[in-house]
């Protein structure tokens, strides 16, 4: 799978319309700020809404990824991790998170981000419970939605975020729940 990184870079270089990331940062920030205001600083609700938003995006974004890369079906969950980090994040966000902390059974890994265009220059609201907000939670939803479309049911959640505490890494934990059965139409086997 060492080819995976070059697939991501190739698509980014030659098949991607690019914009200044500031536009995305501002747009995402304004949506999060409005959610925080509408839900009156109930961050559990904000996190849930961001995750749902990401999930719906993930369901659609995987089509573009597969069409532009022609990636073959992943043989195992380690391949999947590579595709998420080096193709998915590379081609849409132009970043490549590090894959780390594999569980012994190879069903859980972490994505660790050293840069995050969504959270550039972000300051959390000045509220005692502001640390309950997972500012970039849309990522978790996107991963969950996109992988579901390739028959992988996963859970994805933030473990820590440098936006909350600069001494911590920005880390998302991804857990394989199960491989979904392909739906075979009756009478065609």
Partner 1 sequence: MEVSASALDYLLIEAVPVARDVIEQLGIEDQDEAHHRIELYGYQVGKGLAQVFTRSRPRMVQQLEIIKFVCKNLWEVLYKKQMDNLKTNHRDTYVLVDHNFEFCRRMGTSLPPQATAELAYPYLCFPAGIIRGFLHAMGLSSTVTVEAPELPMVTFNVRIE
Strand 108-113 and strand 170-179: the pairing is: antiparallel
93 lies in the site for partner 1, by CB under 8 A: yes
172 lies in the site for partner 1, by CB under 8 A: no
Q: Write the DSSP assignment of 104-149 as a string of letters.
A: TTS-EEEEEES--GGGTT----SSTTGGG--TTTHHHHHHHHHHHT
DSSP secondary structure code for residue 75 in this structure = S
Site for partner 1 in 56-75 (CB under 8 A): 56-57, 60-61, 64
For the CB of residue 71, give the shortest distance to partner 1 in the complex, in Å: 17
For the CB of residue 54, give the shortest distance to partner 1 in the complex, in Å: 8
d(CA 77, CA 172): 16
CB distance 87 to 4 below 8 Å: yes
Q: Contact region for partner 1 (CB under 8 A) — 18-26, 74-82, 123-131, 166-174? A: 18-26
CB distance 41 to 129 below 8 Å: yes
Site string for partner 1, 99-128 (x = CB under 8 A): ------------------x--x--------
d(CA 1, CA 43): 38
For the CB of residue 147, give the shortest distance to partner 1 in the complex, in Å: 16
Q: Contact region for partner 1 (CB under 8 A) — 21-29, 74-82, 122-130, 151-159? A: 21-29
Q: Write the CB contacts of 142 (distance below 8 Å, at least 6 apart in sequence).
A: 54, 55, 57, 58, 61
Task: Closer to partner 1 by CB, 88 or 176: give it.
Answer: 88
Residues that bind partner 1 (CB under 8 A): 12, 16-24, 26-31, 33-35, 38-39, 45, 49, 52-53, 56-57, 60-61, 64, 91-94, 117, 120
């Amino acid at each position: 799978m060492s080819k995976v990184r070059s697939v991501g870079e190739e698509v980014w270089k030659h098949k991607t319309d690019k914009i200044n990331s500031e536009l995305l940062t501002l747009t995402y920030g304004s949506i999060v700020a409005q959610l925080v205001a509408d839900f009156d600083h109930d961050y559990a609700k904000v996190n849930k809404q961001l995750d749902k938003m990401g999930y719906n995006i993930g369901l659609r974004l995987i089509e573009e990824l597969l069409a532009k890369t022609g990636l073959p079906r992943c043989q195992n969950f380690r391949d999947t991790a590579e595709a998420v980090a080096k193709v998915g994040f590379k081609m849409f966000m132009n970043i490549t998170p590090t894959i780390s902390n594999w569980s012994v059974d190879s069903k859980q890994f972490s994505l660790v981000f050293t840069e995050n265009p969504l959270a550039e220059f972000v300051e959390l609201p000045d509220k005692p419970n502001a640390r309950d907000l997972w500012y970039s939670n849309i990522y978790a939803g996107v991963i969950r939605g996109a992988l579901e479309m390739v028959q992988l049911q996963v859970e994805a959640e933030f473990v820590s975020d440098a936006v909350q505490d600069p001494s911590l890494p920005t880390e998302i934990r991804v857990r394989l729940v199960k491989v979904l059965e392909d739906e075979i139409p009756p009478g065609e086997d």
